[in-house]
Structure 1
């Protein structure tokens, strides 16, 4: 029991350190991209935290298997370097018994990966798409930058010269509306000032313009409409409903299971295969972690990473082949998993045959 707790702690601690570094790199890259979009005025900075949280399960489902794989390599490699494996062999520890010990933390990681891939990742992707779509389809004063033309959805473009001292009113507002299915006219509205208000009873958002003119022109005709107003109200918030976000990336796992479409089945098999991938990587990592003390604990790290990249690349190629119809869904991605499962069993057999010296 003491030995079991020791090995589990070493693997999980190393995995946590590797996962933290990988998450920091990946999320940092995504945060920089979102921050650049926010600086361009695509959405307010206040939703950056929510967007990163929605993306976290998608990062975790890819980072955790790799971090666990590297955690076993580094933790067991250190045990070989310190000759602790030699002591375990003298006490009767075999590769098969060590594998049984390794499979318990692998089960914990596999459950976390399954939660992310089967439930949290599609839910987070749907929330991300809905949030971004909502921001694109409505004007929010907080995302407008003075002196720039900015698109805010619905075929409309806004320009403001400046804000008032308290930041609640816009000055010298120009709004262009392109022709749409509701009206064939192209409208240009200019106002001396404007502000945004929300009707409490309905929750609707409106842009209120004051002291300006509104021009309507139909392409191909010489006449134009002109309207002078002291107050003009323009309704905002014409966002699409969540039901229109019907990409397979956002579909629940249960919906994918009942969908015979090859693309849906490819997405389902990708999600379902990730938890199994954790156990296969654990099987591969144990014999690969055996290093000569003169080689160092990183002696087999590079070949192991190449093996992981090959595994992931073949999985992605199989998913693309299923989605395109060139690979039957009955076969699916499972031959790739079986291939690396066989490779892991072969390496384990060789390790068992040669011993753990």
Structure 2
């Protein structure tokens, strides 16, 4: 059918443009955030591109849903603005055919959103957490970046390295401040190297001085050394979470990292709240996409600013209520079936109300008016 072909082509063009712009914005924001974390020592610079890819993957379902909503809204707004809806109505096109075309166009995208939300979302969060845990479990010295001060995980030591390790594993211009056992010690050395001795890891310092004194007193002790070792075994990483029992590990795992199947088999409120959010994303995408059809049905001679503002407010309100519903289930205020029925049922009723008000349903709005296919209404002619 000509309508189906032309409308789907226009929606695909608008969808491609919207997705490109939104993805570029999200990619730029993720790049800035990950670069900031890497510069502050919160992320491994070697995992930079992997972290950006995982971050974009977690936001991809939102980008697809918003791009689909904008594509349908822009396509039908253009048709109303150019009076093309009246032409299609004169050719015998019924309003329900618009909904069928939109559903056929959006079905592959909604399936992709469902796969991303139910499968890719927890997997990406798991991989992101694994990368950060692996980075946090390194020794304190391994966290130090050349030219920057870094605090140890215990908060009792501060490291500084002027130059990173060379081919021989030597780092140069070392500064270490240590507050432990009631003493404050400052150690300066020209070079340092990590070595494993007697089952422990040592930082071997060469050609330096050590300044120590009891806190609150002025008695300093200065010691010069040609070589000195600092035992780092007390700073070793804790046992990996994989060694913990399964029940304990799952209890300490954020719900966003739990698989959808495990969420569905659980009775934990926090997990059920996460499940409602994952189920709600594809459902809300379908309802919002269909809602864009009546939202675009306006008088072509009227301004479009109010129409766009109303459409954006409805979209944001729906998404915010989706997040709020997750919190209510987490707090035990609502059960999962009731929450899904109330939230998405209300959205479905709003969709039917908008479609009826815009004349996009088979029955007329009220007595004395007649529905004109294409979303306009006018007075009924007197006999």
Q: Same fold (TM over 0.5)?
A: yes
Distance 1:189 1:328, change over 3 A: same
**1:67 is aligned to 2:67:** yes
Q: Which has the higher contact order (CA 8 A, sep 6+)?
A: 1
Equivalences for 1:37-48 in 2 at 5 Å?
37-48=37-48
8 Å contact from structure 1 (residues 270, 333) kept in 2:
no
CA RMSD of aligned residues (A): 3.7
What displacement does 1:286 show? Answer: 0.7
Which of these residues, 306, 309, 314, is aligned with residue 302 of structure 1? 309
Distance 1:156 1:112, change over 3 A: farther
What displacement does 1:152 show? Answer: 4.9
What displacement does 1:63 show? Answer: 2.3
- Which of 1 and 2 has greater Rg? 2
Match of 1:241 in 2: 240
State the SS of the aligned residue for 2:298.
coil
Match of 2:379 in 1: none
Which of these residues, 297, 300, 305, is aligned with residue 293 of structure 1? 300
What displacement does 1:343 show? Answer: 1.1
What displacement does 1:346 show? Answer: 2.2
Equivalences for 1:193-342 in 2 at 5 Å?
193-195=191-193, 208-211=203-206, 229-230=227-228, 234=232, 238=237, 241=240, 243=242, 244=249, 246-295=253-302, 300-342=307-349
State the SS of the aligned residue for 1:171.
strand
What displacement does 1:8 show? Answer: 1.6
How many angstroms apart in 2 are the aligned matches of 1:206 and 1:2? 74
State the SS of the aligned residue for 2:257.
coil
What displacement does 1:102 show? Answer: 0.4
8 Å contact from structure 2 (residues 170, 192) kept in 1:
yes
Match of 1:30 in 2: 30
Match of 1:201 in 2: none
Q: Tell me the TM-score normalized by structure 1.
A: 0.82
Q: Deviations over 1:205-241 (max 9, x none)?
A: 967423368999999xxxx9x9x75556746872663
Match of 1:102 in 2: 102
Distance 1:210 1:259, change over 3 A: same
Q: Deviations over 1:171-222 (max 9, x none)?
A: 232446777xxxx898968463124689xxxxx9967423368999999xxx
State the SS of the aligned residue for 1:86.
helix
What displacement does 1:247 show? Answer: 1.1
What displacement does 1:52 show? Answer: 1.3
List alignment gaps of at least 5 residues for structure 2: 216-220, 243-248, 365-370, 377-383
List alignment gaps of at least 5 residues for structure 1: 199-203
How many angstroms apart in 1 are the aligned matches of 2:15 and 2:200? 48
Which of these residues, 347, 356, 360, is aligned with residue 351 of structure 1? 360
Match of 1:113 in 2: 113
8 Å contact from structure 2 (residues 144, 159) kept in 1:
no
8 Å contact from structure 1 (residues 263, 322) kept in 2:
yes
State the SS of the aligned residue for 1:249.
helix
8 Å contact from structure 1 (residues 208, 234) kept in 2:
yes
How many angstroms apart in 2 are the aligned matches of 1:129 and 1:205? 28
